Amino acid sequence: MRICLFPGTFDPITLGHTDVINRGLDLFDRLVIAIGVNSSKTPMFTLEERIAWIREIYKDDPRIEVAYYKGLTIDFCKKIDARFILRGIRYVSDFEYEKAIADVNRTIAPQIETIFLTTVPQYSSIASTLVRDIHRYGGDVAPFLPPQVMEGIKRSQK
């Protein structure tokens, strides 16, 4: 079975993320979308919200699993028997950063391969950091987020 991990903070999950996930689905038998918990970061949205949003988006696709983890991504891959890591690339600078991580991961666990998918042009400017800033200052984030996330954000603001 081809198991792939798509790690990230997904704070929040954006249309850029779902673009990569949706295109990656045909490459693997199972895709684990895993939220990495980093004690040095304070997310805007709770872990529970982010997990719920991803589960809601992919509730009808049995190939998708949602999880969270602490520690090294490569260790989590080993724990779930993932032989692949999926990463989205928006710009050349993303590739340089992601390649460095992939090279280190390959040194630690040569049996785990990193797969890069570039985002489609309409989503290449979407970054969770920008979405959080727009949201923080009352701007409209709807063009950047899946409807399930928008509904969740509206519910939490009541």
Task: Provide the annotated binding site for substrate.
Answer: 9, 41, 73, 87
CA distance 84 to 28: 9
30, amino acid identity: R
41 is catalytic: yes
151, amino acid identity: E
156 is catalytic: no
| Token pair in block for residue 36 | 């990495």
Residue reference for tokens 């918990």: 37
- The residue annotated as part of the active site, out of 41, 93, 155, 158, is 41
In this structure, how many other beta carbons lie within 10 angstroms of the beta carbon of residue 36?
16
- The residue annotated as part of the active site, out of 23, 55, 90, 99, is 90
Annotated binding site: 9-10, 17, 41, 73, 87-90, 98, 123-129
128 is catalytic: yes
Annotated binding site for ATP: 9-10, 17, 88-90, 98, 123-129
90 is catalytic: yes
Q: Where are the alpha helices (DSSP H) in 68-127?
A: 73-80, 92-108
- Give the residue numbers marked as catalytic: 17, 41, 90, 128
